[in-house]
Amino acid sequence: MQREGKLQIHSKAVHAGDRKKPGEHVPISTPICTASSYFYDSMRQLDRVLGRDEPGYAYARYDNPTTGALEELLCALENGHGALACASGMAALHAAMVTALADRRKSVVAADALYGATVSLLLNVLEPTGVKIRFVDACDLDALRAAVNEAQPGCILIESISNPLLRVAPMDRIAEIARQAGAALVVDNTFSTPLITRPLELGAHFSVHSLTKYLAGHGDVLGGAVVTDQEHYDGLRALARIVGPVLGPFEAYLTLRGIKTFPLRMERQCANASLVASWLGRHPLVEHVYFPGSAAHPDANTVRRLFPAGLRGAMVSFEIHGAGREEVFRFMDGLKMIVRATSMGDVHSMMLYPAMSSHRDISPRHRERMGIGANLVRLSVGIEAAEDIIADLEQALG
């Protein structure tokens, strides 16, 4: 792919990572390579490969041809320097955080609106090792600057679109604050995807994905990825060679195949989400709708500035008027097409109850501070006909 850097994201998604090796017989799609180790004609060559003086594969904990092709593709989509594919999104986020803090002050300033497992990673995994954690409203730049000045963090952590209330922080301006403080900026870009935002282009150091979601897109992969800049890539790979958070070749193959249609799927899902959010906003039983495409969204100016026209994400959260846990369960049990499941980003529409699933391990008081009430549900809008998604919501709401 000699012109890869000049291609648009739709073309990169189809071609990057494939047909890498010249030869008489080159498969048009990357094959699944399951070997755990590799043989060379001479010990000298194996020595050079193990020492990374010569390109090649030696041991599957270090790298794998199928996974390497996926990493090349992810790097092309995000316009990064290098990528690491991991066994889950949380493994990827942990690798990014550990790498970011390796040579920096063991302090993190994190957005106060984050995925529940991310909060648990900060409080239950990193903090017990001596990493100081501070939460702040990342959409309030004055508050963020004050927190950074006081905490002097080695890392700032945000989500491109927050889970589940879909806030959009000014990533480019936060990147400036991070660089002035000597901190690394880690962005979980799962909800936004590289079609909408590419954090490294906006000044971030790490862009993290749950491959399980939009990139693989079909509900059959568990995986994660980190895309990073040149400064941090060697450290990220060195950590991975020791710890081994690697993605298996079969999952890498499925993700490679899924990404080929990812931009088309995402465009459709964004369009559907806009229609669904508009309809929900008019329903008498819906108390509040959270959607970045809404004119009343608290971060509307940031969304217009950073997001391409017509692409506002494919997640819609909403509150059901007067509902508690039992009423929400009854509503969700009434869904006939929309899938009740604890994920998002698949081709089919999916709904979950954050208090029960994505933020289950967060205390009720903490959830309340985050704005996650007992009547909040989160909808991942799929590629079905928007009319059918709306019809299912309508009959379930009653």
Active site residues: 61, 115, 188, 213
Four-residue CA torsion sign, 81, 93, 99, 139 = positive
What is the spatial order of strands in the sheet that 315-320 belongs to?
286-290, 315-320, 376-380, 350-352, 339-340
Exposure of 231 by Cβ count < 10 A (0-12 exposed, 13-18 middle, 19+ buried)? Answer: exposed
Report the largest interatomic distance among the alpha carbons of the chain, rounded to a whole angstrom.
74
DSSP 270: H
Helices 249-259 and 65-78 meet at what angle, rounded to 10?
40
Q: Whole-angstrom Cα distance, residue 169 to residue 162?
A: 8
Q: Which residues pair with 188 in a beta bridge?
A: 159, 208
Tell me the CB-side half-sphere exposure of residue 12, using CA atoms within 13 A: 20
Distance CA 70, CA 76 (A): 10
Say if residues 74 and 92 touch (Cβ distance below 8 Å). no
Q: Is residue 159 helix, strand or coil?
A: strand
In what helix (H) or strand (E) does residue 83 lie, and over which residues does it extend? strand 82-86
Mapped onto helix, strand or coil, the DSSP state of residue 268 is: helix
CA separation for the pair 317, 358 (Å, rounded): 13
Task: Give just the sign of the alpha carbon dihedral 97, 9, 195, 145.
Answer: positive
How many other CB atoms sit within 10 Å of the CB of residue 364? 11
Q: Do strands 339-340 and 224-228 pair parallel, antiparallel, or not at all (unpaired)? A: unpaired
According to DSSP, the β-strands at 184-188 and 107-111 are unpaired
